[in-house]
Amino acid sequence: MAKPLPVSPLASPLPALGVVAGVRLGAVAAGIRYQGRTDLVVAEFAEGTTVAGVFTQSKCPGAPVDWSRTALKGRSARALVVNAGNANVFTGRAGVETCRATAEAEARLASCAMHEVFLASTGVIGEVLPADRITKALPKLHGALSETGWEDAARGIMTTDTFPKAAVRMIEIDGVPVTIQGIAKGSGMIAPDMATMLGFIATDAALASAVLQTLLVKGVSGSFNAITVDSDTSTSDMVLLFATGAAGNRAIPDADDPALAAFREALNSLLLELALMVVRDGEGANKQIKIMVSGAVSDVSAREVAKAIANSPLVKTAVAGEDANWGRVVMAVGKSGEPADRDTLTVAIGGVTIARDGTVVEGYDETPVVAHMRGQEIEIAVDLGLSTGAATMWSCDLTHGYIDINGSYRS
Q: Walk me through the domains of the chain, giving residue ranges and CATH numbers.
A: 23-280 (3.60.70.12), 288-407 (3.10.20.340)
Say if residue 75's pLDDT is above 90: yes
Q: Which amino acid is located at 107 in the chain?
A: A
Strands, sheet with 288-296, edge to edge from the N-terminal-most edge strand: 359-360, 352-356, 346-349, 377-383, 288-296, 389-396
Say if residue 409's pLDDT is above 70: no
The pLDDT of residue 405 = 81
Say if residue 192's pLDDT is above 80: no
The pLDDT of residue 196 = 65
**Per-residue model confidence as pLDDT tens digits over 14-53:** 999 999 999 999 999 999 998 889 999 999 999 999 999 9
Q: At 408, is the pLDDT very low, low, confident or very high (cuts 50, 70, 90)?
A: confident
Point out the least confidently predicted range of 182-196, 253-267, 289-303. Answer: 182-196
In the predicted model, what is the mean pLDDT of residues 274-298? Answer: 96
Sequence-separated (6 or more) residues with CB below 8 Å from residue 181? 17, 18, 20, 150, 166, 167, 168, 169, 201, 202, 203
CA distance 112 to 29: 24
The pLDDT of residue 144 = 97
Q: Was 406 annotated as part of a binding site? A: yes
Q: Was 68 annotated as part of a binding site? A: no
CA distance 293 to 125: 35
Q: Was 283 annotated as part of a binding site? A: yes
**Checking phi first, is residue 146 left (phi over 0); if not, alpha (psi -120 to 50) or beta?**
beta
Neighbours of 40 (CB within 10 A): 24
Helix (H, G, I), strand (E, B) or coil at 27: strand
In the predicted model, what is the mean pLDDT of residues 100-124? Answer: 97
Q: At 1, is the pLDDT very low, low, confident or very high (cuts 50, 70, 90)?
A: very low
Cβ pair 389, 297 in contact under 8 A: yes
DSSP E strands, 67-116: 79-86
Strands, sheet with 165-173, edge to edge from the N-terminal-most edge strand: 50-55, 238-243, 198-203, 176-185, 165-173
Q: Was 159 annotated as part of a binding site? A: yes
DSSP E strands, 226-345: 238-243, 288-296
Positive or negative, the Cα torsion across 196, 179, 209, 246? Answer: positive
Q: Was 338 annotated as part of a binding site? A: no
**Per-residue model confidence as pLDDT tens digits over 226-263:** 999 988 888 999 999 999 999 999 999 999 999 999 99
Say if residue 80's pLDDT is above 70: yes
Q: Which amino acid is located at 87 in the chain?
A: A
Catalytic residue numbers, as ranges: 196
Say if residue 4's pLDDT is above 80: no
CA distance 396 to 320: 9
Q: Was 73 annotated as part of a binding site? A: no
CA distance 285 to 57: 25
Q: Kindly tell me the burial class for residue 359, based on how many C-beta atoms sit within 10 Å of its own C-beta (0-12, 13-18, 19 or more).
A: exposed
∠ CA 213-217-219, rounded to 5°: 115
In the predicted model, what is the mean pLDDT of residues 177-194? Answer: 89
The pLDDT of residue 85 = 94
pTM (two decimals)? 0.95
In the predicted model, what is the mean pLDDT of residues 118-128? Answer: 95
Say if residue 397's pLDDT is above 70: yes
Say if residue 119's pLDDT is above 70: yes
Q: Which amino acid is located at 402 in the chain?
A: Y
Sequence-separated (6 or more) residues with CB below 8 Å from residue 13? none
Report in angstroms the alpha-carbon separations of 105 from 47, 49, 95.
Answer: 18, 20, 15
The pLDDT of residue 191 = 83
In the predicted model, what is the mean pLDDT of residues 316-334? Answer: 97
